[in-house]
Each structure stands twice: as structure tokens, then as C-alpha cells.
Amino acid sequence: MFDVRETSIPGCYQIFPRVFEDARGRFIKVFHEQAFEERGLETHFAEEYYSVSRRGVIRGMHFQVPPMDHVKMVYCTQGSVFDAVVDLRRGSPTYGQAATFSLSAEVGNYLYIPKGLAHGFCATSDEATLVYKVSTVYAPEQDAGILWSSLGIDWPSESPIMSERDQGFSALNEFESPFWYE
């Protein structure tokens, strides 16, 4: 049902679902409770939302701190994105390291992001719609981020379009992480 591939960051997976295509179009199943349970993945998602971004928009690097930290699944339903995660879990063998991926509606692949990772992306198509499933509800008091340019990521946009909030986050080397690797 799913091709679940480990990434360089423990607990973060890139998932490739089966894509059914015929004369009508495409059909993709992104979640199946039993299949996720069998792999030890989160099966309870409290919210789902999406963003629509123009080419060159960077959103991130976002996360929620405990007690509202969450598992996140992200996938494109339109266009494509350059997606990035960074490990913020103290004691992790990949603490402070980033991993990047190309997600697209055409391929149908997505990311499963464990608690303790920051997430962000850059739209690489004229317009990209990214869907987010999260295991806890949005909590403004626990909402946080890391400065996108402090992570050593080679972003595909030299002059990104960004929110003031995302431009104002602290750099990774100034961040005191509340996350622990288990």
C-alpha cells in the first residue's frame, strides 16, 4: 500500500503511496490506520489544513513546543515544493542536521515528520498547495520556529517571499531546544 523510506533523520520518513491512474484522473490513498499502526507511526491526527503558495515563497521553519508538539504529515495536492526538516531533538545522532526533499502532486509522495523536527518548504511551481495533518491542535502559545537561513540549507530561491514572522525567528545556534531524542 505504501513504500515507506527512511530518511537521514531518525523517525522521519518519505512515503510513496500507490497511485491509481486511468482516463478519469488519479486516486491516491495517503493514510491507512492499520498500515500506520503496523509501522509504529502516529494514527491520531487532530487537525488538517493547507496552504497555497506562489513560486519562491518560503514558509518555515515551524514547529510547536511541548506539551503541544506534534507529528506532522505533509503532501502536495497541486504543484511541487522543496521541503526541509531539521532535527531539534537533543541527544539525537542528527541533532541540528537538515534533510531536504522534493514533494509533488505528480509523484504523490509525502513526509512523515516526528515530534521535535522543524519543518518548512519553498514552492517550486507557479502555485503549490501543501496539505498538513498534525497530531495536536494549533496552539499559538507553543508555536515557534527557527530562522530558515541559519540551517545550511541550499534553498532554491535567492530572493524568497516570506512573512515577517518567519524572517524574525532566532537562528539555530541561539535556540534552546525543549525536545529530547527517544
CATH of the domain at 154: 2.60.120.10
Closest among 60, 152, 77 to 113, alpha carbons compared:
60
Per-residue pLDDT tens digits for 50-87: 999 999 999 999 999 999 999 999 999 999 999 999 99
3-state helix, strand, coil in the chain (%, to 5): 10, 45, 45
How much is the pLDDT for 105? Answer: 96
How much is the pLDDT for 65? Answer: 98
Which of the residues in the chain have pLDDT under 70?
A: none
How much is the pLDDT for 131? Answer: 98
Task: Identify whether 181 is part of a domain.
Answer: no
How much is the pLDDT for 148? Answer: 97
Task: Identify whether 182 is part of a domain.
Answer: no
Catalytic residue among 13, 75, 112, 132: 132
Q: Global pTM?
A: 0.96
Torsion angles phi and psi, residue 14, rounded to 5: -100, 130
Task: Decide if 132 is catalytic.
Answer: yes
Task: Identify whether 180 is part of a domain.
Answer: no
CA distance 24 to 17: 19
3-class state of residue 34 by DSSP: helix
In the predicted model, what is the mean pLDDT of the chain?
97
Task: Decide if 110 is catalytic.
Answer: no
How much is the pLDDT for 182? Answer: 84
Catalytic residue among 13, 62, 110, 112: 62
> Do the Cβ atoms of 167 and 114 come closer than 8 Å?
no
Task: Identify whether 111 is part of a domain.
Answer: yes
> Do the Cβ atoms of 153 and 60 come closer than 8 Å?
no
